[in-house]
Amino acid sequence: MLAVAKRTAQIHGYGGLNFRDIANDVGIKAASIYYHFPSKADLGAAVARRYWEDTLADLKKLQEANPSPQQCLLRYPEIFRRSLQNGNRLCLCSFMSAEYDDLPDVVKQEVQTFVDVNIRWLSAVVQTSANLSPEDRTLRAQAVFSAVSGAQLLAKSRSDISVFDEIIGNYHKLGLLS
């Protein structure tokens, strides 16, 4: 259920989550979804929570596989690129961020946690790669997160992953991801 709901939310956002459609895709009755998730807000929060938990696991794997902070920064955009590779989808929490004002509070909290997880991870990576104050590390982490998620949004609007690759390449050249 969560995998189907994730795919739906990456394509249509929180507003596109529909119990009946998800149930049809999974091959169950909508009442079965209500058993696990009494409301759309509960489902949306669970999907967003799973998404940031999976992203955190991906970030940890990335850091384990690449002990160099510079290599971690170079490879960080791959997490966002995967969504584009998978049906020109957006990062789930980026999409939900665009709907933020209309989200239930429980979903907003999970979307904020996704951003916080990314900023904390990036800040820790930047800390080991540059001699910056804690405030400047956070500012740089926010800039990297915003830039990469923005590149994804632009590429999606063109239905062209090469746009993402070109923008990320330019970030490398300009030193944002080093």
In a domain, 107, yes or no: yes
More confident of the two residues 178 and 122: 122
What CATH number corresponds to the domain at position 74? Answer: 1.10.357.10
In a domain, 23, yes or no: no
Q: What is the mean pLDDT of residues 38-56?
A: 96
The parent domain of residue 73 ranges over 50-174
pLDDT over threshold 70, residue 7: yes
pLDDT over threshold 90, residue 54: yes
Planar angle of CA 71, 64, 51, nearest 5 degrees: 95
**So what's the pLDDT on residue 129?**
63
pTM of the complete model? 0.91
In a domain, 31, yes or no: no
Count of the separate structural domains present in the chain: 1
Nearest-angstrom CA–CA distance, 158 and 17:
24
In a domain, 16, yes or no: no
Q: What is the mean pLDDT of residues 70-89?
A: 94
Mind giving me the DSSP string for 74-137? HHTHHHHHHHHHTTSPPPHHHHHHHTGGGS-HHHHHHHHHHHHHHHHHHHHHHHHHS---HHHH
In a domain, 20, yes or no: no
Provide long-range contacts, Cβ within 8 A and 24+ apart, for 134-137. Answer: none
In a domain, 1, yes or no: no
Give the pLDDT band (50/70/90) at residue 37: very high
In a domain, 18, yes or no: no
